[in-house]
């Protein structure tokens, strides 16, 4: 059974900067980045408990090809995305969103 999905506004804004940067490096790379993020979100919706808890109740799905993590929690039958951040970012960024 597929879980519902809520992406918090700040999490929606997170990948936009990355998209812009990847597009400036190579045309079409930003679009590929968005596809990878969408695929990771879909996988988290299908089976969110496959991802390890990394902080309190927060889980992290890593994207393929791009060094990004999708930080989320599960409430009832819903995946709530808190952040979509580059792996080198300070973890306090997503921890403050809890």
Look at phi and psi of residue 83 and say left if phi exceeds 0, alpha if psi is from -120 to 50, else beta: beta
Report residue 78: phi and psi, to 5°.
-130, 135
Q: What is the CATH number of the domain that holds 45?
A: 3.30.2310.20
Domain count, the chain: 1
Threshold 0.85, pTM exceeds: yes
Residue 47: its pLDDT value, please? 97
pLDDT tens sequence across 43-94: 999 999 999 999 999 999 999 999 999 999 999 999 999 999 998 887 777 6
89 vs 50: CA distance, rounded Å: 23
Q: List, in sequence order, every residue forming a beta bridge with 4; answer none if it has no partner.
A: 78
Domain span at 54: 4-95
pLDDT tens sequence across 11-45: 999 999 899 999 999 999 999 999 999 999 999 99
């Amino acid at each position: 059974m597929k879980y519902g999905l809520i992406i918090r506004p700040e999490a929606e804004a997170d990948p936009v900067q990355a998209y812009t940067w990847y597009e400036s490096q190579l045309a079409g790379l930003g679009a590929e980045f968005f596809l990878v993020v969408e695929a990771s979100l879909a996988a988290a919706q299908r089976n969110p408990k496959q991802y390890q808890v990394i902080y309190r109740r927060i889980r992290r799905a890593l994207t393929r090809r791009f060094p990004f993590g999708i930080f989320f929690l599960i409430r009832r039958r819903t995946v709530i995305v808190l952040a979509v951040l580059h792996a080198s970012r300070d973890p306090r960024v997503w921890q403050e969103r809890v």
